[in-house]
Amino acid sequence: MTNIEKTRTLANNLTIPTIGFGTWKIEEGETAERSVHEAIKAGYTLIDTATIYGNEASVGRAIKQSDVPRENLFITTKLWNSERGYDKTLRAFEDSLKLLQLDVLDLYLIHWPAARGPKEEWAKTNAQTWRAFETLYKDGLIKAIGVSNFKPHHLTALMEQAEIKPMVNQIEFHPGFRQEATYDFCKKENIIIEAWAPLGTGRMLKNETLEAFAKKYGKSVAQLCIRWCLQNETIPLPKSVHEQRIRENLAVFDFEISEDDMALINSMPDFGSSGADPDTVTF
């Protein structure tokens, strides 16, 4: 496992980096632009943003100013909840593409499923939104399409109507919150899992159990959590605005968590989750 591949292969044979740089809660402007610039300089090639983050323009400027060729970068953004539906999705995508200053997007995700009310209503909304994703994909404007925060019942309903199956599901995933049902479903359906908040937005870093494991391997708790995500065959998306931590979060290919320790971390009781349930969120 120490030589984990630096890319994974999606269902459509597109390769995706095994670690990405997350930009949630990084403020638009100089901070976001500098952080993405530092991440690319450190070696990240997968950059993850979203319309609701409000920093697509900064991400776009950092990409434009980078010395790394565009074809070597993998850029992701996400459709926000207020823009669901076929026509609104097409317009929202065009807006994101302009802000990012891109001609083609590598990965587009539905940020949260429509899930409130009767199933026939939310399933119809998700299906209409997904149809727009399929159109953009067929038109060559997106290289891969997927979802975020979809549970098995959301995915099942969507796939019943879909022509193209989601290639990615980005979910909250970290020690103490593995979302086993969603994890197992995605593995079975060959849907790659991306892990948002792999550090529990910082909540993992003061956990005594994880601190002990990190000390054992001579690594930081953050590095342990990122490595744990990798060994669980997910793609972690750590975020930081500090240059040293940005670099440290990528330095996880020189050690391996033992099988026994993986089992112990996997069995940790639920703790540290955001509490954002896709079936009940109101934003």
Question: Which residues are catalytically annotated?
Answer: 53
Backbone CA torsion sign across 15, 86, 162, 49: positive
The backbone torsions φ and ψ at residue 13, rounded to the nearest 5 degrees and listed phi first, read: 75, 5
What is the SS3 assignment for 111?
Answer: coil
Give the single-character DSSP code of 174: B
H or E element at residue 110: strand 105-110
Work out the widest C-alpha separation in the chain, in whole angstroms.
53
List beta partners, residue 170: 148, 194
The backbone torsions φ and ψ at residue 195, rounded to the nearest 5 degrees and listed phi first, read: -105, 105
Which residues are CB-contacts of 52 (< 8 A; sequence separation ≥ 6)?
78, 80, 111
C-alpha closest to that of 109 among 58, 66, 46, 67: 46
